[in-house]
Amino acid sequence: MKDRPSTRPRIDKLGVKAHHDVLLLGIEDDEAFVAELKERGARVRTTGGAAADLIFATFHHRNDLRRLASLVPRLTSDGALWTLRPKGSSDLTEAEMMRAGQDAGLVDVKVVSFSAVLTAEKFVIPVAKRAAHRPGTASPRTRGASSSRGRS
């Protein structure tokens, strides 16, 4: 049986809930996405120091990965960092994104086609480390964190 593209709405694939505090970094100009978030009832922001339930951050080049680890303290302990990167780009590969997330102490759990031009990869704090996670402080790095992601 051939894989069929998912017919689920993007907002459902991304796991956005009505009560979520969502931080947008580099994707805030996507009016359709912002409208989807607001329609769902999420609180959307582009600034602020409070920990977020979901962070959507764009990365266009491997040099941008230097800022990935700094986003971990901005997550709630059970939050998710969705990294958005150009599809098929040689400037930033899936392997580089996965390695950067793992080096930041995160595990990759899902990949979603965000748009015609962007791929979204979901990273979370490992369950065993969530109780120790303190938003607003540096998180310890975990090299070689395992991956248990699915594809949508």
Residue 134, pLDDT score: 86
Distance CA 21, CA 85 (A): 22
> What CATH code is assigned to 10-130?
3.40.50.150
Tell me if the pTM is above 0.95.
no
Taking only the tens place, the pLDDT of each residue in 2-53 is 667 778 999 999 999 999 999 999 999 999 999 999 999 999 999 988 999 9
Each domain of the chain, given as residue ranges in start order, spans: 10-130
Q: Please, what sign has the CA dihedral across residues 8, 14, 17, 18?
A: negative
